[in-house]
């Protein structure tokens, strides 16, 4: 378990439905919080990684625009994209830049201003995150894809719509407490179960909402981290994997193989096991995604993830608290910013600074961030 790269600063804008400013102003909100948290200035940052999914804003190459606005010239800046997992891909690249010796301090900033286009246009762009020859032309949208995952899990393991609703109830309980979440309203089990269908068996509250938002993570090598930060959070393990873009190219639909492989790599690098994780942030773009994550990350055996939510084991005080900031289901999902927001939550947990959602004694945390429909899988394990 090496401690070579640490996170020394984190920041996040509020996630909202319609941000009134520009993308540069949105990015600045997260950046300002992160540099203040780290106690540094833009002059200390050796390189910046700007992470976002394209086609939501008219600006080409937004990395240059944002780097200029944040005062990061003439340091190098790079644009990264792996759809919804873009900013944890940024964490992986930033770690590599620091380990290589090219830079001592690297900034990873994820953003998305999804309100620039209509909801229908947004869904169409998300659909094009799949194969545009063999799948997207037939109307496959994100809810339909995850509905197929849900149907497969139901058929193989006997999980139910009520199990998914229980996940949404948990999300809403913690989303109320998160001042940066877009959806801050508690939902009852009955409301979740009787909501209008979106794509059977998924209903309205099984699906996360589009949002505008930005997140910012500042990373440093060991020597600089110890010099600058009183509470560095160390990156202990990283895992990344991919899967065929078309669902017909996969062996099964009741889980995400990219997540399983990424988790295996991250556990091995960190020298820990699933039972060592004290708190986790998983990519719950849909309720079924959180259920699959329980199993893909080894928190439960395949088919046994339902027992965790039925028994309340993924709440604070349970066996493995998951998404105690409300997750994507309550926070919203500004694509490029999502992974950085997850990392921020875990950093605050490990510092003991998570306030009314603090998991007592949390020492090791995990982030599971998925891009597209299980195409890209990133897992980050951190320790204090």
Which residues pair with residue 110 across a beta bridge?
A: 51, 215
Q: Is 84 a catalytic residue?
A: yes
106/218 Cα distance (integer angstroms): 6
Q: Please check whether residue 280 is in contact with residue 359, taking contact to mean a CB–CB distance below 8 angstroms.
A: no
Q: Is 170 left (phi over 0), alpha (psi -120 to 50) or beta?
A: alpha
Q: Please check whether residue 37 is in contact with residue 241, taking contact to mean a CB–CB distance below 8 angstroms.
A: no
Write down the catalytic residue from 51, 84, 258, 285.
84
Tokens of 55: 């086609």
Q: DSSP code of 195?
A: S
Q: Is 368 a catalytic residue?
A: no
Residues comprising the chain, all counted: 384
Cα torsion 49, 52, 55, 59: sign: negative
Q: What is the pLDDT along the chain (384 residues), one digit of tens a residue?
A: 789 999 999 999 999 999 999 999 999 999 999 999 999 999 999 999 999 998 788 888 999 999 999 999 999 999 999 999 999 999 999 999 999 999 999 999 999 999 987 777 777 777 777 788 888 788 778 999 999 999 999 999 999 999 999 999 999 999 999 999 999 999 999 999 999 999 999 999 999 999 999 999 999 999 999 999 999 999 999 999 999 998 888 999 999 999 999 999 999 999 999 999 999 999 999 999 999 999 999 999 999 999 999 999 999 999 999 999 999 999 999 999 999 999 999 999 999 999 999 999 999 999 999 999 999 999 999 999
Q: Please check whether residue 5 is in contact with residue 95, taking contact to mean a CB–CB distance below 8 angstroms.
A: yes
User: What three-state secondary structure class fits 362?
Assistant: coil
Q: Please check whether residue 291 is in contact with residue 137, taking contact to mean a CB–CB distance below 8 angstroms.
A: no
Write down the catalytic residue from 153, 283, 333, 368.
333
* Closest by Cα among 180, 184, 56 to 118: 56
Q: Each residue of 230-242: pLDDT tens digit?
A: 999 999 999 999 9
Q: Each residue of 202-255: pLDDT tens digit?
A: 999 999 999 999 999 999 999 999 999 999 999 999 999 999 998 888 999 999
Locus of tokens 């604070």: 316
Which residues pair with residue 378 across a beta bridge?
A: 240, 369
Main-chain dihedrals φ then ψ at residue 80, nearest 5 degrees: -125, 145
Cis peptide before 74 (omega within 30 of 0): yes
Going from the N-terminus, what domains does the chain have, and what CATH number goes with each? 5-118+211-233 (3.40.47.10), 123-209+234-383 (3.40.47.10)
């Amino acid at each position: 378990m090496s401690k070579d790269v640490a996170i020394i600063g984190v920041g996040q804008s509020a996630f909202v439905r319609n941000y009134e400013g520009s993308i540069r102003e949105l990015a600045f909100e997260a950046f300002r919080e992160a540099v203040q948290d780290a106690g540094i200035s833009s002059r200390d940052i050796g390189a910046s990684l700007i992470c976002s999914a394209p086609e939501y804003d008219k600006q080409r190459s937004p990395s240059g625009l944002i780097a200029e606005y944040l005062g990061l010239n003439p340091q190098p800046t790079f644009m990264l994209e792996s759809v919804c997992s873009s900013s944890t891909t940024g964490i992986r690249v930033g770690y590599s830049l620091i380990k290589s010796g090219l830079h001592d301090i690297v900034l990873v900033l994820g953003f998305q201003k999804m309100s620039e286009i209509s909801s229908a246009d947004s869904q169409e762009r998300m659909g094009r995150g799949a194969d545009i020859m063999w799948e997207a032309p037939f109307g496959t949208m994100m809810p339909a894809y995850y509905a197929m995952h849900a149907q497969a899990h139901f058929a193989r393991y006997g999980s139910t719509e009520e199990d998914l609703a229980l996940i949404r109830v948990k999300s809403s309980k913690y989303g109320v407490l998160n001042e940066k979440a877009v959806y801050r309203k508690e939902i009852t089990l009955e409301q979740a179960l009787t909501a209008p269908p979106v794509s059977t068996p998924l209903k309205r509250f099984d699906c996360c909402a589009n949002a505008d938002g930005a997140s910012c993570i500042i990373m440093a090598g060991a020597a600089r981290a110890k010099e600058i930060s009183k509470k560095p959070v160390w990156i202990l393990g990283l895992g990344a994997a991919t899967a065929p873009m078309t669902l017909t190219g996969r062996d099964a639909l009741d889980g995400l193989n990219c997540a399983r492989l990424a988790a295996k790599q991250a556990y091995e690098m960190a020298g820990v096991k699933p039972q060592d994780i004290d708190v986790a942030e998983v990519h719950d773009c849909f309720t079924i995604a959180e259920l699959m994550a329980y199993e893909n990350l080894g928190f439960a055996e395949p088919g046994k993830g339902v027992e965790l939510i039925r028994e309340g084991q993924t709440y604070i005080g349970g066996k493995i608290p998951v998404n105690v900031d409300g997750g994507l289901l309550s926070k919203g999902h500004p694509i490029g910013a999502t992974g950085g927001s997850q990392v921020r939550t875990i950093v605050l947990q490990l510092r003991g600074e998570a306030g009314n959602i603090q998991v007592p004694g949390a020492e090791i945390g995990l982030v599971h961030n998925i891009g597209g429909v299980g195409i890209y899988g990133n897992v980050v394990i951190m320790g204090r």
